[in-house]
Amino acid sequence: MTENIKSSRVSGFYRLPIEKRIEFVKKFSDLTDEETKLFSSCLNIDIADRMIENVLGTFELPLGVAVNFVINGRDYLVPMAIEESSVVAAASNAAKIARVKGGFTAECSPPLMIGQIQVLKVEDVTEASQSIIEHKPEILRLANAQDKILVELGGGAKDLEVRILDSPLGKMIVIHLIVDVRDAMGANAVNTMCEALAPEIEELTGGKTRLRILSNLADKRIVKAKAVFDKNTMGGENVVDAFLESYTLASIDPYRAATHNKGIMNGVDALIIATGNDFRAIEAGAHAYAARKGRYTSLTTYYKNKDGDLVGEIELPMAVGVVGGAANMHPKARLCRKILGVKTAEELAMVAGSLGLAQNFAAVFALSTVGIQKGHMSLHAKNIAVMAGAKGEEIDQVADQMVKEGKIRLDRAKEILEEIR
Ligand code: NAD
């Protein structure tokens, strides 16, 4: 292993024993002894009982760390909680290739969330909309009275937009309350404001409010990331061309785009879960954004630059928080934020966007060259060995034999196990 603490570039990290990996992360992220002990602990049952209803216990996922990431010139170790094999290795590998040309550059818009208030049974929707616009200052004041903390931090309700929609029920008004949620994901903050505004809106419009809730299509809270993947490191310009051929299908065909975007979310979700964020919200936002132009398409774009290198870009909504929700309550979420060293929701969003791009690059790169099964199945072989009943050292023996034979199947695993025994 080559190591330079504070550089996330590590080779052979996966070959280290778990204690050595933890030691590396401890030094990199200045973790205390107490914090490193958390890696092998479970969520306290009393905390779990406060988080959801009808608690029986907790459910564990493997927590790993992707290495090699440079984002906006800074090195990151990226924590990932995920059950699928190969994802963490693939992200690390993509980050290693991106590093050759300086890593990822990322940017994101301010943390603006949209809250929707649906208004029905309005006699004159044009006049009512006008009335809402005219009373904007007092509506925003009322919204901001609900969250003094947010306002003190420079956030709060900033604007509103009024939409008139045709529906089977006739015309309805939908008000979009635009809220700067600072370092929170913001759902509770926005929902509270929307509910509090309802009586005032009914009075102004003469209508009846129904839905009062945020939109997960957080298209004012967008993260963008970009990286250049060196053609020589990829294996030559013909590999770049093969990559672009593969990518083209995702750009034109929803059947491929769904799988392509799933690959992006392999990375994004793993980080979102590790940091105690709401992965359903991120998923909903990502896929709705992928269909924003009327046809579902890829969240990434790729092209060749004048040097023949591959350029990858990603753009998607990223409603993540470093305060609120489970982000504060879950000790491992706090630990993962410390590993990352992120202090703001914007920085976390930029890491998530870069990770999504890395994950997508890794998948399309493998698909365009050796195919995805090679990397996938060698790790998966261990799962198959366990399914066949292998225990302890048998697991590696059975898995290694199957990989050697190129036959990673349950029936073969059982045969090998019998032969060993
Ligand atoms: P929250 O209400 O727990 O925390 C946000 C609050 O923290 C803010 O309103 C503010 O008062 C305070 N705060 C303190 N320091 C802050 C800072 N630096 N920046 C911003 N706020 C700060 O959580 P939330 O983020 O409003 O809501 C997230 C939760 O809502 C998640 O658990 C999510 O699963 C859940 N949720 C999601 C949906 C959805 O996505 N459709 C719907 C309902 C609830």
What range does the domain containing 187 cover?
112-214
- Chain segment 269-295, per-residue pLDDT in tens: 999 999 999 999 999 999 999 999 999
pLDDT digits (tens, 9 = 90+) for 225-244: 999 999 999 999 999 999 99
From 214, 241, 262, the end of a domain falls on 214
**Residues 37 and 86 both lie in one domain:** yes
What is the spatial distance between Cα 168 and Cα 179, in angstroms, rounded to a whole number? 30
CA of 246 to the centre of ligand 1 (A): 39
Q: Which residues line ligand 1 (CB under 6 A)?
A: 147, 149-150, 153, 181-189, 191, 214, 216, 278, 281, 321, 323-326
Q: Whose CA is nearest to atom 37 of ligand 1?
A: 187
Residue 6 forms part of a structural domain: no
Distance CA 272, CA 278 (A): 7
Residue nearest to atom 38 of ligand 1 (CA): 187
100 in the same domain as 231: yes
- What is the pTM assigned to this prediction? 0.91
300 and 241, same domain (yes or no): yes
The C-alpha atoms of residue 112 and residue 333 are separated, in whole angstroms, by: 23
Pairing verdict, β 310-317 and 222-229: antiparallel
Cα 79 to chain centroid, rounded:
12
Structure tokens at 133: 């616009």
Mean pLDDT of 149-158: 98
Residue type, 39: F
| Residue 260 and residue 121 in one domain | no
Domain co-membership, 239 together with 297? yes
Task: Point out the ligand 1 atom lying closest to the alpha carbon of residue 148.
Answer: 11
The answer to whether residue 8 sits within a structural domain is: no
Q: Which of 50, 149, 216 to mutate to test the pocket of ligand 1 (most atoms within 8 A of CB)?
A: 149
CA 83 → CA 51, 63, 269, distances in Å?
A: 22, 9, 11
pLDDT in tens, 246-273: 999 999 999 999 999 999 999 999 999 9
Residues 40 and 95 in one domain: yes
Q: Other CB atoms closer than 10 Å to residue 94's CB: what's the count?
A: 30
Q: Which helix (H) or strand (E) holds 105?
A: strand 104-108
Q: Do 266 and 316 reside in the same domain of the chain? A: yes
Clarify whether residues 284 and 346 are in a common domain. Answer: yes
Rounded to whole angstroms, how far apart are CA atoms 332 and 37? Answer: 11
Instruction: Examine the fold and report which residue of 214, 232, 260 is the final residue of a domain before the chain moves on.
Output: 214
Count the domains in the chain. 3
The enclosing domain of 363 has a CATH number of 3.90.770.10
Gap from CA of 185 to ligand 1 centroid (Å): 5
Distance between CA atoms of 137 and 239, rounded to whole angstroms? Answer: 56
User: E-assigned strands of 167-309?
Assistant: 172-180, 208-214, 222-229, 300-304
Centre of ligand 1 from the C-alpha of residue 191, in Å = 9
For residue 342, how far is its CA from the centre of ligand 1 (angstroms)?
18
Please tell me the distance from the alpha carbon of residue 96 to that of residue 102, in angstroms, as a whole number.
10
User: Tell me, what DSSP letter sits at residue 15?
Assistant: G
Whether 304 is in a domain gets the answer yes
76-133 pLDDT tens trace: 999 999 999 999 999 999 999 999 999 999 999 999 999 999 999 999 999 999 999 9
pLDDT digit string (tens) for 359-412? 999 999 999 987 666 666 777 888 899 999 999 999 999 999 998 888 889 999
User: Which atom in ligand 1 lies closest to the alpha carbon of residue 190?
Assistant: 26
Mind telling me the catalytic residues?
Answer: 84, 262, 278, 376
Do 29 and 123 sit in the same domain of this protein? no
188 part of a folded domain? yes
- Residue 41, Cβ density class (10 Å: 0-12 exposed, 13-18 middle, ≥19 buried): exposed
Mutate to test the pocket of ligand 1, among 278, 318, 328 (most ligand atoms within 8 A of CB): 278
Do 228 and 98 share a structural domain? yes
d(CA 189, CA 178): 12
Q: Whose CA is nearest to atom 10 of ligand 1?
A: 150
Centroid of ligand 1 to alpha carbon of 200 (angstroms): 24
Same domain, 252 and 389: no
**Number of neighbours of residue 183 by Cβ within 10 angstroms:** 22
Strands of 74-81's sheet in order across: 74-81, 63-71, 104-108, 222-229, 310-317, 300-304
The answer to whether residues 140 and 277 belong to one domain is no
- CATH number, domain of 381, equals 1.10.8
Confidence (pLDDT) at 328: 86
CATH assignment of the domain containing 199: 3.30.70.420
